[in-house]
Amino acid sequence: MHMETPWWRDAVVYEIYVRSFADASGDGVGDLAGIRQRLPYLAELGVDAIWLTPFYRSPMADGGYDVADYRDVDPLFGTLADFDALVADAHGHGLRVIVDIVPNHSSSEHEWFKTALRGEGRDRYLFRDGGELPPNNWQSTFSGPAWSRTPDGQWYLHLFAAEQPDFNWRNPEVRSEFLDVLRFWLDRGVDGFRIDVAMGLYKAEGLPDTPPEDQAFKAESPIWGRPEVHEVYREWRKVLDSYPDERMAIGEVWTDSAEDLALYVRPDELHQSFNFAWLEAPWSATAFQKVIDDTLAAVTAPTWVLSNHDVVRHVTRYGGGLINSTTGLARARAALLAMLALPGSAYLYQGEELGLPEVTDLPPESRQDPIFARSRGTLPGRDGCRVPIPWSGVAEPYGFSPDGARPWLPQPVEWAVLSAEHQASDPGSTLSFYQEALRARRELRGSFTDGITWLDSPEGALFFSRGPLTCVINCGSDSVQLPPHERVLIGSAPVDGYLLPPDTAAWLHTP
């Protein structure tokens, strides 16, 4: 009996960084009502699902990833009624809804932590005695020590900002609380969860001092990837499986091997895990082929992603750091086409369909990422990929906010020609290209094979087939001869039918 493919296994998911997508209230900050207004745009773009970054009650010390109440909407973004209406409207447009869940840490304004500071229930977090010095040498991923001292002399662990105390997952109360939080949102109709810092949660017993190299995101370091975390996801999977309509979870797992990544997506654990090796690969056919081979060999439900709210936008990465690089944009479009041809799910980041580059010249006084503050300005932080989307018009706020309200991060003057409105009428625009590529992928879905077949490729290029589709990408500096084909289905740049230019990809139909 042929089983229908679960929706998430080959979905195209669009990440919405809620603060920066669309502002309906006019306060310069994106909100749930703004997303509702733009659902027709997302449906026309051709994605299958949206993923919302945290919209919960939060003091916004880390853009909402410091959660004060896991069961409510922050007034900055709207109300629970706004959320319910957004889910209903999204489903009406045929879009699934994935929400972020942040289980490694809460906000220091969470009721549990405020109670802990009063001396009660400290076992929900990781408090330790340490004297004048922190209990160990662990460093925050946001720069500086991973410990802060309370007025009574104890220290608490925070692997991110000081306003984000880490939970003690060895306390059964914490495990029970998050099972309840999952059910709360599943009961409201969400289709899945993106799990923040999914390789976190547990720390090694005794919290030992650790060499700096073991504090990186590695498998089974004392800080990350502890084996105990897998039992949590087995519990979560049972909850997800108890609901109809194929609810799912995807983990944010930074790790150093595809084999370790595969541990999170065993049949009784998470459905998917982000594959950051693709995002981290340089512009190289050899590098791309290795990531694809390693991923497909290790993971049964692969994912692919080029940008997200935590990394430099790939237009700028591929352009060698230049903001308005034509090379970077050409490579970004080519990489998108190669990614969409691979088995599995593709995760897009808002604005990449407009070809938005990283904003590298934000004034220091406008930056809000705690990485910038904690590193005393030596690290730029992640604000450059979080600048609000340009929708229309020729000046800030480019239709992001009504009545000309200034957005929470300034938008570049160069973005007038990158707005969705400006690109919609241009068949050669990046937006039109994304729409065409996603439409072609939908049309081919039924004929795709589960895997790919590598074809002989010229130096610097990568050719592979997947059913009737042959995907070609040229990462070299010279044009290469195309393999035999019936016709060109789509190209990231013009393709004459015989030669594939540098920094270009194409889909070919092969009989």
Which of 31, 48, 62, 252 is catalytic? The answer is: 252
String of DSSP letters for 302-361: -EEES--TTS--HHHHHTTT-TT-HHHHHHHHHHHHHHHTSSSEEEEETTGGGTPPP---
Are residues 159 and 143 in contact, defined by beta-carbon separation less than 8 angstroms?
Answer: no
252 is catalytic: yes
Cα gap 415→394, rounded to integer Å:
8
Helix (H, G, I), strand (E, B) or coil at 363: coil
φ/ψ bin of 383: left (φ > 0), alpha (ψ from -120 to 50), beta (otherwise) = alpha
How far, in Å, are 239, 265, 267, 345, 374 from residue 270 at the CA level?
11, 5, 8, 14, 33
Q: What is the 3-state secondary structure (H, E, C) of 462-493?
A: EEEEECCEEEEEECCCCCEECCCCCEEEEECC
Which two tokens mark 254?
């930074």
Q: How many CA atoms lie within 13 A of 287 on its CB side?
A: 11
Helix (H, G, I), strand (E, B) or coil at 50: strand
Which of 10, 196, 352, 503 is catalytic? The answer is: 196
Which two tokens mark 145?
């020590």
String of DSSP letters for 399-436: TSSGGGPPPSSPPPGGGGGGSHHHHHT-TTSHHHHHHH
Number of H-type helices and E-type strands within the chain: 14, 20
Q: Which residue has the tokens 């109809």?
A: 244
Phi, psi for residue 318 in degrees, rounded to 5: -70, -20
- Nearest to 334, CA basis, from 500, 511, 510: 500
Are residues 391 and 353 in contact, defined by beta-carbon separation less than 8 angstroms?
Answer: no
Active-site annotation, residues: 196, 252
